[in-house]
Each structure stands twice: as C-alpha cells, then as structure tokens.
C-alpha cells in the first residue's frame, strides 16, 4: 500500500538518487574551476546526503500524487529533491546564526571548516574562515536548488506553474528567520501578545516552508485546480505549526543522542518559541524574571539550562503546547479528509506523514 514504510524508504532512495546525480554534475563543475574545491564538493555531498527526514520532498511528492501525478515520473521526484537543497542551505545558515556546534550528531558546517583550517595550519582566524565558508556554501545550495528545479525533467509549463510559489516560499522563510532573530533582540511592544508573535514566526519560518508550500508546489507541478491547492493550504498550515511545536518541545526536552543536537540549545540561543511564550504567559513573576534573565544569556551552562527548563515545566506550558499540537492535528486532518478530488492513496499517505511529523522523537 502507498505510504507504508517500504514506500517511504523507496521515496527517500529516489530523492537521494536524484540528489546524487545532480551533485555528480556539480562536482565536475567545481573540479573544472579548481582542485582546491574538492573539499567543498565532498562536504556538501556529505551534508546533503547525511540524514534528515526528507519531509519537504515527501510532502511535495504527495502533493503531486494527490493531484494525479504519476508515481513513476522521475522528473517530479527530482523537482521534490530541489527542496532538500533549499533545506540544506537554510540549515547551514541557521547553524551559523545560532552558533550551533552540531547538526545531526556531526559538526555544523562552520565548525567543519574551522577544524579544517586548524588541521592544515592555515593563516588567519579559523573561526572567521569557517563562518565565511558556511555563508558561501549555504548560498551555493540556495543557487543549486533553483537550478535543480529548472532542470528536473518536467515540462516548462509545469515548472512555470509552480515557480512563483517556490519563490514566495523562499521569501517567506527568510522573512520568518529574520522575525525569529528579532524576537529576543528587540523590546516587545507594550500590550503585544508574545504567543501571537511566536505563532507568526512559526507560520513563516517553519509551517509554510515545511508542509504547506511543498504540498502546494507538488500540486501545481501536476496541474491541480485551485480548490485542491486551497485544501492543501488548509491541511498544511496547521500541520506545519504542529510540526514546529513538536520541534520546540524536543529542543528543550529532547534526548541529544536522538535529536543530534545538545539539550537546551534553543534556550542557550534565547529562541522565543511558542513554548517559551506560553511559559512567559503562565509562569509566576519570579519565574518570569528568571526566564527573562537567563534565556539567551552568554555562556549559559547546564545548571542554568536546567533552571530554565524547570521554570517552563512549572508554568504548565508543555501541557498546553501538547494540547495545541493535538488540536492543530485534528484541524489538519479534517481539511485533508474533506479535500476535493484528492487521490485516495495520497490521502492515506498524507495521514501517515501527518502522524510522523507530530509524534516524532527526533
């Protein structure tokens, strides 16, 4: 049956194969420029193919299938794979912005090149070299995602239908990233609701980009009508928000051996997630001061992270966020079950993807 674990793994393999073919071509291009670019090609391949849930390609693929697209069209799978390059570029930049040391249990891109600088005994500041390299390699993946979409093998008409939304998605995620940076840096306006501000960040940085837009892009590639595109939107936005809320909980309470990132990184970075906003809304004055003082404080150690985690727990915010995830999932599945003209196998598979996105442990 479509969407069972075997088919999920098969889609991952097809996306991986499409990325390998593309990266083979790009490796040749880089080699023709300079042999010194060999570490760039090798590291980017390792990063892009080094794990990840492949959720965005999966939602794009089932958006395609739900609109009547063929299961056997490798051009469609390649178009879906372009989203993984976009995600790779975003992650490289995100890790640099957040000063994260690891990604998927391995050194973050800027740390990899900082370590290379030290190992080779090169001149200059290794940390600056690593950061600059990460900016360039993230930019390179953002360029390549556009190239892969245009050269995916689908007809030009199909790509032109989807390209405006693909471009809008990229603008939305960058805007959401900026709002995420702004939250801990700028004073909150008097009377503003931190929960609503956090939700706006979630919608643009994650929810649209992870679920809603990939689904709609897949639908447009297959020629979906507006009614189905709207249904994808009604399903994708609440599901994308629920996905991010699960991620917020994992960022505070997750097991580093499973998540691949140190526990409490979101707290060290001072991220004003919906979980934190809910905690600020419901905690005692003393805990509110503690959160305000410690969130994002330089050099936040494990004891301070534990204090912040305890204050969040005391506020009841985790329970409220769990309830919100359940409500959002119900809203999403109602929209999915009433979506007009959706192919049955796509409906079943999207049900499974929704469960995987909201109940995951990593």
Query: Which parts of the chain sit beneath pLDDT 50?
Result: 1-3, 362
Output DSSP code: residue 315: T
DSSP 3-state of 103: strand
207/321 same-domain check: yes
How many domains does the structure of the chain reveal?
A: 2
On whether residue 191 sits in a domain, the answer given is yes
81, 18 in Cβ contact below 8 A?
A: yes
Q: What is the structure's pLDDT at 53?
A: 83
Give the global pTM. 0.92
On whether residue 99 sits in a domain, the answer given is yes
Say if strands 102-103 and 106-107 run parallel, antiparallel, or are unpaired: antiparallel
Q: Where does a domain end: 127, 153, 179?
A: 153
Farthest CA pair distance, the chain: 62
95/175 same-domain check: no
176/210 same-domain check: yes
228, 341 in Cβ contact below 8 A?
A: yes
129/220 same-domain check: no
On whether residue 185 sits in a domain, the answer given is yes
126/177 same-domain check: no
209, 239 in Cβ contact below 8 A?
A: no
Share of the chain above pLDDT 70, in %: 95
Q: What is the structure's pLDDT at 4?
A: 53
On whether residue 15 sits in a domain, the answer given is yes
318/216 same-domain check: yes
239/344 same-domain check: yes
DSSP 3-state of 106: strand
Output DSSP code: residue 125: -
**Distance separating alpha carbons of residues 339 and 355, to the nearest angstrom:** 18
On whether residue 63 sits in a domain, the answer given is no
On whether residue 107 sits in a domain, the answer given is yes
On whether residue 62 sits in a domain, the answer given is no
148/171 same-domain check: no
220/318 same-domain check: yes
Query: Residue 68 — φ and ψ, nearest 5°?
Result: 100, 5
Q: What is the structure's pLDDT at 266?
A: 79
The boundaries of the domain holding residue 24 are 1-50+74-153
124/166 same-domain check: no
110/43 same-domain check: yes
Going by C-beta distance under 8 Å and a sequence separation of 6 or more, which residues neighbour residue 354?
A: 239, 329, 332, 333, 336
Residue in 136, 137, 122, 127 with CA at minimum distance from that of residue 99: 127
**∠107-110-111 over CA atoms, to 5°?**
40
Q: Judge residue 173's burial from the number of C-beta atoms within 10 Å of its C-beta, 0-12 exposed, 13-18 middle, 19 or more buried.
A: buried
In the beta sheet, which residues pair with residue 106?
A: 103
23/102 same-domain check: yes
On whether residue 66 sits in a domain, the answer given is no
Alpha helical stretches, state H, the chain: 5-33, 38-48, 55-66, 74-98, 109-120, 126-150, 156-185, 194-202, 213-221, 226-253, 256-259, 265-268, 274-282, 285-294, 302-314, 317-337, 344-359
DSSP 3-state of 134: helix
16, 49 in Cβ contact below 8 A?
A: yes
Q: What is the CATH number of the domain that holds 327?
A: 1.10.600.10
Q: Where does a domain end: 153, 183, 216?
A: 153
Q: Where does a domain end: 133, 153, 173?
A: 153
């Amino acid at each position: 049956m479509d969407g069972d674990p075997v088919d999920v793994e098969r889609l991952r393999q097809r996306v991986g194969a499409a990325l390998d073919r593309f990266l083979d071509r790009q490796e040749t291009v880089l080699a023709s420029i300079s042999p010194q670019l060999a570490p760039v090609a090798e590291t980017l391949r390792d990063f892009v193919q080094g794990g990840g849930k492949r959720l965005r390609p999966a939602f794009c693929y089932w958006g395609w299938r739900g609109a009547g697209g063929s299961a056997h069209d490798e051009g469609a799978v390649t178009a879906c794979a372009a989203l993984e390059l976009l995600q790779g570029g975003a992650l490289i930049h995100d890790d640099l912005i957040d000063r994260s040391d690891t990604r998927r249990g391995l050194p973050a891109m800027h740390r990899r090149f900082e370590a290379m600088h030290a190992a080779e005994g090169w001149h200059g500041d290794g940390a600056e070299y690593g950061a600059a390299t990460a900016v360039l390699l993230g930019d390179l993946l953002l360029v390549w995602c556009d190239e892969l979409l245009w050269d995916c093998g689908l007809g030009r008409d199909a790509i032109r239908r989807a390209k405006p939304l693909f471009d809008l998605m990229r603008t939305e995620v960058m805007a959401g990233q900026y709002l995420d940076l702004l939250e801990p840096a700028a004073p909150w306006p008097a009377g503003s609701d931190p929960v609503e501000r956090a939700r706006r960040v979630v919608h643009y940085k994650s929810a649209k980009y992870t679920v809603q837009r990939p689904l709609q892009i897949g639908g447009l590639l297959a020629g979906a009508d507006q009614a189905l595109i709207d249904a994808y939107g009604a399903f994708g936005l609440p599901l994308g928000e629920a996905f991010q809320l699960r991620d917020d909980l994992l960022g505070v309470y997750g097991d580093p051996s499973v998540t691949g990132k140190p526990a409490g990184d979101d707290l060290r970075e001072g991220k004003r997630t919906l979980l934190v906003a809910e905690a600020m809304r419901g905690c005692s004055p003393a805990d509110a001061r503690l959160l305000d003082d410690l969130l994002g404080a330089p050099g936040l150690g494990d004891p301070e992270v534990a204090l912040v985690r305890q204050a969040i727990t005391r506020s009841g915010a985790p329970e409220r966020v769990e309830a919100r995830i359940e409500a959002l999932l119900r809203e999403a599945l109602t929209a999915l079950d009433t979506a007009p003209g959706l192919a049955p196998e796509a409906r079943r598979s999207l049900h499974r993807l929704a469960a995987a996105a909201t109940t995951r442990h990593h």
